[in-house]
Amino acid sequence: MNEHTSQKIFPTTQLEDADGDGHNTSINPTMGEIIGKRFSRRNFLQGSLAVSAIAATVSPVALMSADEARAQDKSGSAFKFTEVEAGVDASHHVADGYDADILLRWGDAVLPGAPKFDPTKQTADAQSKQFGYNNDYVGYIPLEGSSEHGLLVVNHEYTNPHLMFPGLVKVVDGKIKQGALSKEQVDVEMAAHGGTIVEIRKAGGKWQVVTDGKYNRRITANTPMEITGPAAGNDRLKTNVDATGTRAIGTINNCAGGVTPWGTYIMAEENFHGYFSGKLPEGHKEAANYKRYGVPEGSYEWANFYDRYDLAKEPNEPNRFGWIVEVDVMDPASTPKKRTALGRTKHEGAESIVAKNGKVVFYLGDDERFDYVYKFVTEGTFKPNDRAANMNLLDNGTLYVAKFNEDGTMQWLPMVHGQGPLTAANGFNSQADVLIECRRAGDVLGATKMDRPEDVQPNGVNGKVYVMLTNNTRRKADQVNAANPRAENAFGHIIEIAENDGDFTATSGKWEVLLKCGDPSVAAVGATFSTETTKNGWFGMPDNCAVDSAGRLWVSTDGNNNKATGRTDGLWAVDTEGEARATSKLFFRVPVGAEMCGPLFTPDDQTAFVAVQHPADGGEDWSGHGRPSYYEDLSTRWPDFKPDMPVRPAVVAITKVGGGKIAV
């Protein structure tokens, strides 16, 4: 999820700092405090940060890890490619020797009968057959085990109407103003949300969309959904339209996601709070619950036309969002299921791995400042040769929230009604209450406040788990110490977890800081990239990540821009093992204003799919534009670069020229 720069000008788009100011008022310690106490306790970085540049820019943790690795491993970096030059301009750039081909753009046909994209004549019906807006998560599900023929699954997180619709933005008395959306435009927005399932095939070394694929499907904000699991049917999920509390309409703000071991598509609902407007009835019992989630924010205008987004008319509707949605891609007529057992938060994603005992473990981040990291362990076990037996694994299991300790250990605290403080005395009358108010349950359990937890990725090769913490500019100065100089942490960091005994179902483990991000040449930033990282290789704001089949970590970013870093977002390769640990290299960078989402590798590692989200959303601080960007005056017209075409979010397929594995 990105932090926009243009929202002060365009108030009806998703708001700036949409991840929230932080609604966690509990007294639980923050990750910054934990990191500080841990490293202070071990007497790292004594004295002034200015003692030496190396002490200021490379932490003793990184140095010690590198020293230990050098004694064992002389292999160097696991990534073989020539870095891209960091910077800002109107196009994308990929490492030499690679092609970056546009595979799918907003408005491209994905269903039979879809009209040719015409930005001046958009309709909800057309959009429901076309590729949606702001592609985020990208997943690949092989057909017949192939790395060259499969289903691409893509989330469409949200919309930017000032970039989508002609004539919406006007210049009045020298000031730029965005007008109100019509019902027709809101309907287009709703159809542009959700996800796309589309068949793709590689032919002659290039990927192609199979527009008449039998599995192709669009899921939108109006697609009927089934609510399953412990919260299904609870009174708090019942509305005027659905007296059963088991049928929802649509899915929204689908950020990252996942693909299950049994081949279903996971869509994670993130910043649902922005879609709701109006006021709860006086004294309504959901008031405290909604405050914890920032509901209502009212950055969308949907409540003007649809009662379900108006709290005064449907006060329970927000409880029907913020869930993990599972889709059976092999049955285009199937009803997607909101799996409540995995809890209700502002989910970034849900990446999974099969544990030694056959249970499936899902790792989840709640993307807001001072919120938590979770994991879910299925009660049942995965049966690799019986897909039908796996289809309801997500309805039963144990949800845990993470507590990180200053001595480098951690616990996964079970979120089970009746255990510990999760009782009626604290307002939890059932497991449904625990899951609906997942954040508050984490508060009372004493979970550790994190700095915007986004992707959490298990690595089946080295047994570690990587947590992307994008930033937290609300961290106070009194939480800073010599070993953690991150007041107003603008650049984020990455945590590496080692579960006890290499068991992903373990309820305890150890943790380490893999990277503190930012420019290592600026001592006050306190970044910890290795000394082998070049001026192009460092990054800030880690967001999404992927582990390829070789176990190598790839990190995409959200928030790098000309003002903050002098570079756009992109995809970086990050070494986690050996003498090159904490070395980062820039592989791909996006156009001005864009966020880098995905990434995703085919099983043979010969293709990397990446999603370029909201290109041209900004440009005020780039010398190539220098003013707000909107439909008629865009900072880039990527990827078409045609005067009659607006900027279009798109999925890009990256392959090595002549074929072969990426970065080998």
3-state secondary structure of 583: coil
The first and second tokens of residue 144, run together, are 């017949």
Phi-psi sector, 438: left (phi>0), alpha (psi -120 to 50), beta = alpha
Q: How far is CA 73 from CA 63, 84, 513, in A?
A: 15, 27, 21
What pLDDT, on a 0 to 100 scale, did the predictor assign at position 564? 84
- How far apart CA 503 and CA 508 sit, in angstroms, is 10
- How far apart CA 628 and CA 222 sit, in angstroms, is 32
3-state secondary structure of 319: helix
- How far apart CA 268 and CA 345 sit, in angstroms, is 9
pLDDT digits (tens, 9 = 90+) for 562-571: 888 999 999 9
Identify the residue whose tokens are 């009835």.
281
Residue type, 302: W
Q: What is the rounded (10 degree) CA torsion for 576, 139, 458, 434?
A: 140
3-state secondary structure of 402: strand
The torsion angles phi and psi of 466, rounded to 5 degrees, stand at -110, 130
- How far apart CA 413 and CA 422 sit, in angstroms, is 11
Residue partners of 35: CB distance under 8 A and separation at least 6:
483, 484, 513
pLDDT digits (tens, 9 = 90+) for 135-170: 999 999 999 999 999 999 999 999 999 999 999 999
Which residues does the chain have with pLDDT short of 50?
3-8, 11-17, 41-74, 480-485
Q: Is the pTM of this model over 0.95?
A: no
Partners of 259 in beta bridges:
265
The first and second tokens of residue 502, run together, are 């290499």
Partners of 169 in beta bridges:
178
Q: How far is CA 271 from CA 299, 340, 588, in A?
A: 11, 17, 27
Give the strand pairing for 351-354 and 337-339.
unpaired
- How far apart CA 323 and CA 350 sit, in angstroms, is 11
pLDDT digits (tens, 9 = 90+) for 507-519: 999 999 999 999 9
The torsion angles phi and psi of 376, rounded to 5 degrees, stand at -125, 130
What pLDDT, on a 0 to 100 scale, did the predictor assign at position 60? 41
Q: What angle do CA 28, 34, 40 make, to 5 degrees?
A: 145
pLDDT digits (tens, 9 = 90+) for 336-359: 999 999 999 999 999 999 999 999
What pLDDT, on a 0 to 100 scale, did the predictor assign at position 33? 61
| Residue of 272, 236, 436 lying closest to 347 (CA atoms) | 272
Domain limits, the chain: 31-270+322-656
Residue type, 380: G
Q: Which CATH class is domain 31-270+322-656?
A: mainly beta
- Residue 182 is given by DSSP the state P
DSSP 75-96: ---S--SPPPPP---SS-EE-T
- Number of neighbours of residue 166 by Cβ within 10 angstroms: 12
